[in-house]
Structure 1
Amino acid sequence: MTAKTDSPGSLEIGLLLYPGAQRAAVHGLADLFSVANRVAAELGAVDLAQIRVSHWQADETGQLQLVEDSHPGAPHDVRVLIIPPSLESAPPPELLELHRGLLCRWHGQGTVLASVCIGVFFLAASGLLDGRSASTHWNYAQTLAQRYPKVRVEANQPLLDDGDIMTSAGLMAWTELGLRLLDRFLGPSVAWETARYMSVEPVAAPLPGALFSPRLDHGDAAVLKVQHWLQASAAQGADLAGMAGCAGLEERTFLRRFRAATGLKPTEYCQQVRVGRACRMLEFTRRTVEQIAWGVGYQDPGAFRKVFQRTTGLTPSDYRRRFAPPR
């Protein structure tokens, strides 16, 4: 992989090839993104980036090699790397170890990592999911939990978007993942029209604040380190001194660089992370609003309710009534 460069006219999405990777998912995702480019052109969306799809494969030393590229020639700037599913059993430890270092490097450079089905084993083996929730196929949920006890396995959720890492469940979840990426990077109109063209169920648009998509491609390594820490810890116990210390910067310098890189103040960023986590808990758990407030770092449930409503436009109770699946 070459050095990241500014390429505002393209959005490069990489697909990781590995022994046993489901080719139907690899080719299906490439087709989905090709359709999205056509849809964007037909909509006259000239200001949107064109999706570039690249295929990567690790050699015997663990170095990634380019296998295929839909737009060859330009320097690579992979914004998203997708680990596809497999029809085989959970990947063997030696295969996971081969990919561990390279996934950590890509994540550390600001690339969003996304998995489908048992592709999550690659992420879990890298340690990047420690302390986080992750989704996978129900048939592999117990194996994933046993192998990686630091990962909170939530097989009942079809797709989990944690900002810098995305995991999805079933073998065919690549369609939902691909559409979610379109919604995130190109907007809901392109995502919806692409789904309609392919005759698949469109992804429901989340409320503002319910799905936080942070900027990760800004190039400030110190700020990115803090962002990864906040996403992994759900911003629990994060204060200015701790964030500046994580970045290795003086507090005033950190504040300036964080806002320049992310477009948000650190407090606003933490609120977005916590509200996004609260939305998930409201949808998929039976915890009370007070328990959820405490669980995402608010000692005062009243303050949590105000922040939640300001961010999503709904009270926590209204959000649960509207979006929680039937029990």
Structure 2
Amino acid sequence: MENSIIELGILNYPQAQQSAVLGLSDLFGMAQRYLERPQNTSQTQLRISHWQLSESIAQRIYDTAPKADNRTLAVLIVPPSLAGPPQLAAHAPFLTQLHSQGTILASVCVGVFMLAESGLLDGRAATTHWKYREQVNKQFPQVKWDIDKLLVDNGDIITAGGVMAWTDLGLSLVERLCGPACMLDVSRSLLLDPPRQEQRYYSLFSPKLQHGDKAILRVQHWLQEHIAQPLSVAQLAALAGLQLRTFQRRFNKACGLNVSQYCQQLRVTKGCELLQFTRLPIDTIAWQVGYQDSGAFRKLFQRTLGLSPGEYRRRFSRDS
């Protein structure tokens, strides 16, 4: 039986994160070595290539099977960049052409900007690093951004969130193309957890403070200092020196959230701090951030971060 060669390409564009380019290559190389073991009956072989675009001509600059034929790439990965979103519109025709030929396109972190620029994500779900949430929503409103997800797999297009999510993407591709046994072997060898799905518990609330509305900023500073106190929207409007409706409208415009949502985010963030740096009981923490009913705090925490307070403490506590 003839071997099936699956080519996994990595786009090595200017300022691409080289640790991701080489790390993915090593990860796929380990999967290939697993497939080569005598006890494995798989006929699959992995070909790993790096690609660059020069004067609109795409070419392999690294290839683990240089004598293989030039069959269609199975997957092309756009890795992250530590220099911010890449401004490489010239790559869009190359990506579009590959996609039309059946190549699976994948991105990590800001690599998704290239996919979005190509129009291939229009009307589809995608993710990227949580800190680019506002930028991508503004720049690419036609994309259905789901930033809480670490991986969004549309079958033919896969997007991964944070900079190090290349490990999750790589393992997911190994599982799809080489099977779960191969993926688990690689993850154990590299001391990596199997692919995760969410990144929202890494993304703590950062309030908008550069909006220029001094009255609303005064309220925000007060809330930061008094978050555990009972409050009403009417009291906050009086603090801002505004009529109630005017205050609500200006607060929503400046902060991007209504007052209730904003306070919930502040309280969850303060709860995260106390869970991470103290050993206070969760009931006490709930009270210190403004919840007399610890059950309400636990439900809000779980809904916001996808982890219970106890799970968050076990994962992120400095004493763990």
Same fold (TM over 0.5): yes
**Aligned with 2:17 (options 15, 22, 26):** 22
Aligned residues: 199
Q: CA deviation at 1:140?
A: 1.4
Asked if structure 2 preserves the Cα contact closer than 8 Å seen for 1:192 and 1:203, the reply is no
Give the structure 1 partner of residue 100 of structure 2: 108
Cα distance in 2, alignment partners of residues 203 and 325 from structure 1: 16
Asked if structure 1 preserves the Cα contact closer than 8 Å seen for 2:8 and 2:49, the reply is yes
Greater shift, 7-16 or 120-129, is seen at 7-16
Cα distance in 1, alignment partners of residues 134 and 168 from structure 2: 23
Quick check: 1:184 aligned with 2:179? no
Deviations 1:146-198 (A, max 9, x none): 11110111111000110000000011111110100011011100000000011
Q: 1:43 to 1:147 in 2, by over 3 A?
A: farther
Q: Which runs of 5+ in 2 are unaligned?
A: 198-304, 309-320
Give the structure 1 partner of residue 58 of structure 2: 64
Give the structure 1 partner of residue 143 of structure 2: 151
* 1:116-155 superposed matches below 5 A: 116-155=108-147
Q: CA deviation at 1:89?
A: 1.5
Asked if structure 2 preserves the Cα contact closer than 8 Å seen for 1:29 and 1:175, the reply is yes
Asked if structure 2 preserves the Cα contact closer than 8 Å seen for 1:90 and 1:140, the reply is no
Q: CA deviation at 1:43?
A: 6.6
Asked if structure 2 preserves the Cα contact closer than 8 Å seen for 1:103 and 1:126, the reply is yes
Quick check: 1:31 aligned with 2:26? yes
Give the structure 2 partner of residue 261 of structure 1: none
Cα distance in 1, alignment partners of residues 8 and 99 from structure 2: 14
Quick check: 1:47 aligned with 2:39? no
Quick check: 1:196 aligned with 2:191? no
Cα distance in 2, alignment partners of residues 204 and 75 from structure 1: 35
Deviations 1:36-64 (A, max 9, x none): 1112223722324111101110112x220
Asked if structure 2 preserves the Cα contact closer than 8 Å seen for 1:58 and 1:99, the reply is yes
TM-score (norm 1): 0.58
Deviations 1:57-106 (A, max 9, x none): 0112x2201111011111123100000000012122xx1x2001110000
Q: CA deviation at 1:139?
A: 1.3
SS at match of 2:74: strand
SS at match of 2:163: coil
Give the structure 1 partner of residue 163 of structure 2: 171
Q: Which runs of 5+ in 1 are unaligned?
A: 1-6, 206-323
Q: CA deviation at 1:203?
A: 2.8
Cα distance in 2, alignment partners of residues 196 and 133 from structure 1: 30
Give the structure 2 partner of residue 74 of structure 1: 68
Cα distance in 1, alignment partners of residues 43 and 134 from structure 2: 41
RMSD: 1.9
Q: 1:42 to 1:74 in 2, by over 3 A?
A: closer
Q: 1:106 to 1:8 in 2, by over 3 A?
A: farther
Asked if structure 2 preserves the Cα contact closer than 8 Å seen for 1:48 and 1:186, the reply is no
SS at match of 2:187: helix
Cα distance in 2, alignment partners of residues 107 and 131 from structure 1: 16
